[in-house]
Amino acid sequence: MEIHNMFTLYQQLERINQTYSNWKGYVKYRKVLYLKGVVKPTVISPEYIIKITYIQGEKPKIYVLSPNLEIHPKKEKLPHIWFDTGSLCLDLNEYNIKSDLLAESIIVWVTWWLYYYEIWLQTGRWVAKGTHPDKW
Partner 1 sequence: MKRLILEDKRAIIDDLLKRIAENLQLNDSRRKLVNQRYEAVSKYIEDSSGIFNNADIYAQGSYRIGTTVKPQNGEEYDLDFVVQIDKNWNMLSFNYVYNEFKNLMHANENWSTLVIEKTRCIRLNYADEFHMDIIPTCTANRYINQNEIMVPDKKEHSWVISNPEGYALWFESKYIAQTEIYLHDFYPGMEVRAAQPLPNDNPNILKQPIQNAVQLIKRFRDIYFTENEDNKPSSIILTTLIGQLYRGENSIYETLESIIQRFEYNLEYNKVERKQFHIYNPVLPKEIFTKEWDENPQKFNHFVEFMRVLKENWKKINTLEGPDLYKLLNECFGNSVLESALNSQGLFIQKMRDEGKTGILRTTGGAALYQKEKTQKDRENIFHGNS
Q: Which of 31, 7, 29 is nearest to 106 (CA)?
A: 7
Query: Residue 94 interacts with partner 1 (CB under 8 A)?
Result: yes
Q: Which of 28, 30, 77, 98 binds partner 1 (CB under 8 A)?
A: 77
CA angle 34, 40, 43 (to 5 degrees): 170
CA–CA separation, 104 and 5 (whole Å): 17
| DSSP 8-state assignment for residue 121 | H
Rank residues 1 and 43 by Cβ distance to partner 1 and give the closer one.
43
| DSSP 8-state assignment for residue 104 | G
Query: Residue 83 interacts with partner 1 (CB under 8 A)?
Result: yes
Measured torsion, CA atoms of residues 64, 95, 22, 9, in degrees rounded to the nearest 10: 100
Query: Residue 45 interacts with partner 1 (CB under 8 A)?
Result: yes
Rank residues 29 and 83 by Cβ distance to partner 1 and give the closer one.
83
Query: Residue 43 interacts with partner 1 (CB under 8 A)?
Result: yes
Which part of the chain contacts partner 1 (CB under 8 A), choosing from 4-12, 24-32, 72-80? 72-80
Burial of 42 (0-12, 13-18, 19+ CB in 10 A): exposed
**What residues numbered 95-134 form the site for partner 1, per CB under 8 A?**
95, 103-105, 107-113, 115-116, 118-119, 121-132
Which positions touch partner 1 (CB under 8 A)? 19-23, 37-46, 70, 77, 79-84, 88-92, 94-95, 103-105, 107-113, 115-116, 118-119, 121-132, 135
